[in-house]
Amino acid sequence: MPEPDDLALLVRAAEVAGEIAMRWFGRVRPRDKGDGQGPVTEADLEVDATLRAMLTEARPGYGWLSEESVDGPERLTRDRVFVVDPIDGTRAFIDGAKDWGHSLAVVEHGVPVAAVVLMPVRGTTYAAAAGRGATKDGAAMAPSGRGALEGATVLGAKANFRPERWREVPPVERTFRSSLAYRLALVAEGRFDAMITLRRAWEWDIAAGALLCAEAGAAVTDRRGGPLRFNGVEALLDGVVAGTPAVHGGLMERLA
């Protein structure tokens, strides 16, 4: 279980991150990180540095894993670890779009126990703690309740629906949002029936959203149906599938 005030700490930290990011919004100078890692901006780096200082000062015994920080083996020795994406959806942030945010989680022995996904432009905060449910702006949330795969709304990039990935391409309505954490949050609140990404994905993109889904009552696994475990050596997961139990099950049955 999380420390009683870990969730409150994450909320405060996410609000600070949002204030910093909005100061940069619309005036960043992106550069490419190279090696296929995508773009980074001054805002990503300032948010990362601020969150690291704020969170590790408050919890000096916790480890640290973030997209924009140099990784090291120290976190593997810690029972609890902050898993953070300073700005999830950096390309959307650069483009001046709405669908980027901050993804913060505390992971204990590989399992998320406190999580916040804050979407500054949308003015929305999603939060969850193990055993305490999940909320959107303070109100309890739950998945859509859809009981059949056919016609379900599924968030995912086009590449996920190539025929070779499926025994049978699912009969769903596909759509997309830039931030992976936001996609998970949208499933948790029931605006979409499921989300899917079949590529290997970084832990910081998934940790917070996975807890939102689990605490809201959605099914959430890797692409093979296994449990999601965090603070791994590589910090990579074998994809993620989340949705109502029926839609999640239907997707898993059809995956190649």
By percentage, how much of the chain surpasses pLDDT 90? 92
The pLDDT value recorded for residue 2 is 53
pLDDT of residue 32: 77
Averaged pLDDT of the chain: 95
Q: Does domain 153-254 bear CATH number 3.40.190.80?
A: yes
Q: Burial, 13: exposed, middle or buried (Cβ in 10 Å; 0-12, 13-18, 19+)?
A: buried
Q: What is the pTM of this model?
A: 0.95
Q: Which pLDDT value is given to residue 93?
A: 94
Supply 68's token pair.
């924009």
pLDDT digits (tens, 9 = 90+) for 81-108: 999 999 999 999 999 999 999 999 999 9
pLDDT band at 162 (very low <50, low <70, confident <90, very high): very high
Q: How confident is the model at residue 76 (pLDDT cuts 50, 70, 90)?
A: very high
Of the ranges 27-41, 95-109, 124-138, 179-193, which one carries the lowest mean pLDDT score?
27-41
Mean pLDDT along residues 229-253: 98
pLDDT at 36: 67
Q: What is the mean pLDDT of residues 102-125?
A: 98
Q: Nearest 5 degrees, angle CA 18-CA 206-CA 144?
A: 90
Query: Stretch 102-116: mean pLDDT, rounded?
Result: 98
CATH number assigned to the domain with residue range 6-140, chosen from the 4 options 3.40.50.620, 3.30.70.20, 3.30.1480.10, 3.30.540.10: 3.30.540.10
Sheet strands (E) in 67-132: 80-88, 101-108, 111-119, 124-129
- Where do the domains of the chain lie? 6-140, 153-254
What's the confidence (pLDDT) of residue 29?
A: 82
What is the rounded distance in angstroms from the CA atom of residue 132 to the CA atom of residue 127? 10
* Distance from C-alpha of 218 to C-alpha of 228, rounded to nearest angstrom: 14
The pLDDT > 70 percentage for the chain reads 98
Cα of first residue to Cα of last residue in the chain, in angstroms, is 36
| pLDDT of 28 over the 90 cut | no
